[in-house]
């Protein structure tokens, strides 16, 4: 009789734009190299410097549609005329090897994963307040006022979904948020 393979854990992190998901995830991954950040597939063309399999899996639209039909994605969506999705096969391969996998995705993607992989740990990253979130979004100085208003409107809707998640981490102080996130995942700092 063979021992059963180690099974990693699927961790989903979502939250509104400007909450600091990218920064927090980067810090988490630098401290816990055993966690693999999932690589999404996309139908868009690679941008300069992007590497196949590292930044994205770049695939043709017809192949993407085939994968959707075959339930080859844990979640997927279309934005600005391009499709993006989390390939199930890559995630399953890492989980079966014993590695935990992290998905940093949007709210709708998290909801899809809840259906396709209900045992995933789902964590919502929240700002300390809506006014602080607005300050952060405006502080980026990269968006037009119209784009800022769209982000804020979307953020209000996303914040209402916090109670759908297994845990909420408030990103007020980055070090404290990282420690809280590690605790929720069951990692020691």
Q: Where are the domains of the chain?
A: 10-185
Q: Is the pLDDT assigned to residue 3 strictly greater than 60? A: no
- Residue linked to tokens 């391009």: 82
Q: What is the pLDDT of residue 55?
A: 87
Average pLDDT of the chain, as a whole number? 91
Report strand pairing: 35-37 vs 73-79.
Answer: unpaired
10-185 maps to CATH 3.20.20.70: no
pLDDT by residue (tens digit) across 144-156?
Answer: 898 889 889 999 9
What six digits make up the tokens of 4? 């059963």
Q: Compute, in degrees rounded to 10, the torsion defined by CA atoms 175, 180, 186, 187.
A: 0
Q: Which of 14, 16, 12 is nearest to 129 (CA)?
A: 16
Choose among 153, 69, 68, 75: nearest CA to 108. Answer: 75
pLDDT tops 60 at residue 4: no
> Residue 110 gets which letter from DSSP?
H
- Average pLDDT score over residue span 66-90: 91
Give the tens place of pLDDT for each residue, 91-146. 999 999 999 999 999 899 999 999 989 999 999 999 999 999 999 988 877 778 98
Q: Are 88 and 74 in contact (CB under 8 A)?
A: yes
From the CB of residue 115, how many other CB atoms can be counted at a distance below 10 Å?
9
DSSP secondary structure letters along 12-33: EEE--TTS-HHHHHHHHHHH-T
Confidence band, pLDDT 50/70/90 cuts, at residue 166: very high
What confidence score (pLDDT) does residue 189 get? 61
> Would you say the pTM of this structure is higher than 0.95?
no
Cα 124 off chain centre by = 10
């Amino acid at each position: 009789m063979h021992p059963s393979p180690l099974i990693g854990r699927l961790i989903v992190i979502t939250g509104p734009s400007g909450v600091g998901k990218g920064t927090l995830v980067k810090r988490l991954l630098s401290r816990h190299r055993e966690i693999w950040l999932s690589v999404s597939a996309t139908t868009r063309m690679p941008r300069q410097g992007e590497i196949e399999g590292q930044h994205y899996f770049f695939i043709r639209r017809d192949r993407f549609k085939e994968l959707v039909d075959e339930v080859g994605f844990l979640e997927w969506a279309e934005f600005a005329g391009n499709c993006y999705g989390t390939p199930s096969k890559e995630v399953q391969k890492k989980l079966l090897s014993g590695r935990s996998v992290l998905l940093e995705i949007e709210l709708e993607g998290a909801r899809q994963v809840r259906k396709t992989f209900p045992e995933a740990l789902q964590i919502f990253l929240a700002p300390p307040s809506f006014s602080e979130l607005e300050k952060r979004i405006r502080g980026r100085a990269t968006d037009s006022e119209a784009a800022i208003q769209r982000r804020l409107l979307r953020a209000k809707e996303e914040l209402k979904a916090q109670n759908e998640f297994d845990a909420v981490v408030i990103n007020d102080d980055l070090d404290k948020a990282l420690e809280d996130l590690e605790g929720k995942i069951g990692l020691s700092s």
